[in-house]
Structure 1
Amino acid sequence: MLWAWCSLHEVLEMSDADQKKPQLNQAKTVVEKKVCPECGHIFKGNGWDGIDAHWRSKHENVMSYEEAWPLLRDGKYPG
């Protein structure tokens, strides 16, 4: 068995570092998923990725994508 000798100061420094580690691991990024206001589809990935194809195939009869996109992007789509 190996024994290591260290000063009380070194032990305190190690315990401070160990206490900070869990705090770093607990930090998580919250990503808000975008949801289609017409049908409730939840978009995977980043933000509105795929909204153009989704809207054109499912909701073009409600409003054209060109009209809907600025409203969706700005959070002003009535829904």
Structure 2
Amino acid sequence: MVKLNIVNMNQFLNIVNNSAGTVRLLYPDGRKEPLNHQYTLQRSLRQRHLEAKRSLRLTLEIPNPKDYMNIVLFSIGDC
């Protein structure tokens, strides 16, 4: 599990959609929802991102180590 603050949502979702494994969005109530290619959910995240002044904190489950590193390295440079 990793908590990230996303500034560039479009690029973040591009990386998620190109991940080899499943990237799951974790909710405070414990639910998990796959994020890869889930365009309705992605549209909702884009809207929340705009409402939050282009900075959205997400909690993710990323089981694939390569995907994890790609997403974490992206978030480090996403300032």
- Superposition TM-score, scaled by structure 2 size: 0.27
Higher strand share: 2
- Superposition TM-score, scaled by structure 1 size: 0.27
Q: Which has the higher contact order (CA 8 A, sep 6+)?
A: 2
Q: In terms of Rg, which structure is larger? A: 1
